């Protein structure tokens, strides 16, 4: 087993002005499950492919353990990769599919058989070893793809959106299986996904990328509780965090009839560039319903109620039409999301008064997008 280090790793594709991955610095500990997450095109696959040796590194280095592998051939890196399109060989049995890489490497037949059987046991595939892929379910095929990686007992697993081809229910099931399998095998894993729920549920730590730039690395809890900037705040969490532009005056953040007190520390960390404005973030579950007149309360018009049984979410807008534009969420322009009591949800068209629970708002500089100390 081994750690993985990206040391200012940069990839500029030929013909492109801007790097697809820009001076990536990231250390993955031995045995760790690290998830690289971000929107489509942010450089996740490129990062993984640099680690695999499938993509040139234009500057910087990549290390596996203490070994600089920047110029090492992919086959000599002791890694195994699972892709989104993990096409299995249709004419080969499950066992032959799983053992193929070992066969190519000239591993003796008996040893291949033994390693395939071991992996099959771990993956619950023992009774399918003689079947052809077409006689398997989607989930079983996905496990065969995992098996191909496991039999090689590599130092590092690389996975690029390996669950994308599964339906929603199977994806949830399989992500738990992969996470627990990784913990059991203890093999250092770099896992790529665009799905922040997958990242939160699977990773020991999460690294968020945007436009080729690393935004933040941390445990799921850290990413959720203390996002470093507005982008991470809006990206991590489902339903998404509400983000509002407020005017700063009299020590408060003000928007229409809403006046939210700010601490001295927050006020002091604003600069002239912020232009007497502040961006406040508040998660749907950080809002309490209250009554008109409560200090800091603001009215929200209900557009839609999403009832999930265990939870209910109001999708609405700030009732003050002029101010409504100032608050957005990942759900859409000028929309706000409020978690409400699922046993007593409001109705479409109602007005609910809500208030940010004390200490649960996030403060950001509108000028830099960075989190303010509070």
Ligand X SMILES: Nc1ncnc2c1ncn2[C@@H]1O[C@H](COP(=O)(O)OP(=O)(O)O)[C@@H](O)[C@H]1O
Binding site for ligand X (CB under 6 A): 13, 16, 20, 38, 40-46
- Of 37 and 102, the one with the shorter C-beta distance to ligand X is 37
> How many Cα atoms sit within 13 Å of 232 on the Cβ side?
30
Span interacting with Mg ion, options 44-52, 70-78, 254-262, 268-276, rule CB under 5 A? 44-52
- Of 210 and 259, the one with the shorter C-beta distance to ligand X is 210
Q: What does each C-alpha distance from 272 to 221, 268, 293, 373 come to in angstroms?
A: 32, 11, 33, 17
- Of 191 and 313, the one with the shorter C-beta distance to ligand X is 191
CB of 86 to ligand X, least distance (A): 16
CB of 314 to ligand X, least distance (A): 33
**Which of 5, 45, 97, 328 forms a contact with Mg ion (CB under 5 A)?**
45
Count of residues that interact with Mg ion, criterion CB under 5 A: 1
> How far, in Å, CA of 326 to CA of 334, rounded?
7
For the chain, state the CA radius of gyration: 24
Centre a 10 Å sphere on the Cβ of residue 101 and count the other Cβ atoms it contains. Answer: 17
> How far, in Å, CA of 119 to CA of 126, rounded?
9
- Of 45 and 242, the one with the shorter C-beta distance to ligand X is 45
- Of 84 and 201, the one with the shorter C-beta distance to Mg ion is 84
Q: What φ, ψ does residue 150 adopt, rounded to 5°?
A: -65, -40
Span interacting with Mg ion, options 39-47, 131-139, 228-236, 277-285, rule CB under 5 A? 39-47
> How many Cα atoms sit within 13 Å of 257 on the Cβ side?
15
CB of 204 to ligand X, least distance (A): 21
Q: Which residue intervals of the chain are DSSP H helices?
A: 44-52, 94-104, 109-122, 138-150, 168-185, 196-202, 220-225, 230-235, 264-269, 321-324
CB of 46 to Mg ion, least distance (A): 8
Among Mg ion, ligand X, none, partner that 149 touches (CB below 5 to 8 angstroms by kind):
none
Among Mg ion, ligand X, none, partner that 73 touches (CB below 5 to 8 angstroms by kind):
none
Please give the residue ranges that form the binding site for Mg ion (CB under 5 A). Answer: 45
């Amino acid at each position: 087993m081994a750690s993985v280090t990206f040391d200012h790793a940069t990839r500029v594709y030929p013909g492109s002005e801007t790097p697809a991955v820009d001076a990536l610095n990231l250390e993955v500990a031995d045995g760790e499950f690290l998830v690289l997450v971000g929107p489509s095109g942010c450089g996740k696959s490129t990062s993984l492919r640099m680690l695999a040796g499938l993509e040139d590194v234009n500057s910087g280095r990549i290390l596996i353990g203490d070994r600089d592998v920047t110029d090492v051939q992919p086959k000599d890196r002791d890694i195994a990769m699972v892709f989104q399109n993990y096409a299995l060989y249709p004419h080969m049995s499950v066992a032959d599919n799983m053992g193929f890489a070992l066969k190519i490497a000239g591993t003796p037949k008996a040893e291949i058989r033994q390693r395939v059987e071991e992996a099959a046991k771990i993956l619950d595939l023992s009774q399918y070893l003689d079947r052809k892929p077409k006689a398997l379910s989607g989930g079983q095929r996905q496990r065969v793809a995992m098996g191909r990686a496991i039999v090689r007992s590599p130092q590092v697993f690389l996975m690029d959106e390996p669950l994308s081809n599964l339906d929603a229910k199977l994806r949830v099931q399989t992500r738990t299986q992969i996470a627990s399998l990784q913990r059991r095998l203890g093999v250092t894993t770099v896992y790529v996904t665009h799905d922040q729920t997958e990242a939160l549920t699977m990773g020991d730590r999460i690294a968020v990328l945007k436009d080729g730039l690393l935004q933040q690395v941390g445990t799921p809890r850290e990413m959720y509780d203390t996002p470093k900037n507005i982008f991470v705040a809006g990206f991590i969490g489902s339903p998404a965090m509400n983000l509002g532009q407020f005017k700063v005056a009299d020590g408060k953040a003000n928007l229409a009839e809403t006046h939210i007190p700010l601490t001295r520390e927050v006020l002091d960390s604003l600069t002239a560039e912020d232009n007497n404005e502040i961006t406040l973030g508040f998660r749907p579950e950080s809002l309490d319903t209250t009554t008109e007149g409560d200090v800091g309360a603001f009215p929200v018009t209900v557009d839609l109620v999403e009832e999930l049984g265990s939870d209910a979410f109001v999708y609405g807008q700030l009732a003050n039409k002029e101010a409504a534009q100032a608050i957005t969420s990942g759900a859409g322009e000028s929309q706000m999301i409020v978690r409400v009591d699922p046993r007593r949800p409001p109705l479409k068209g109602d007005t609910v008064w809500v208030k940010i629970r004390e200490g649960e708002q996030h403060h950001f500089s509108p000028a830099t997008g960075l989190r303010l100390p509070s």
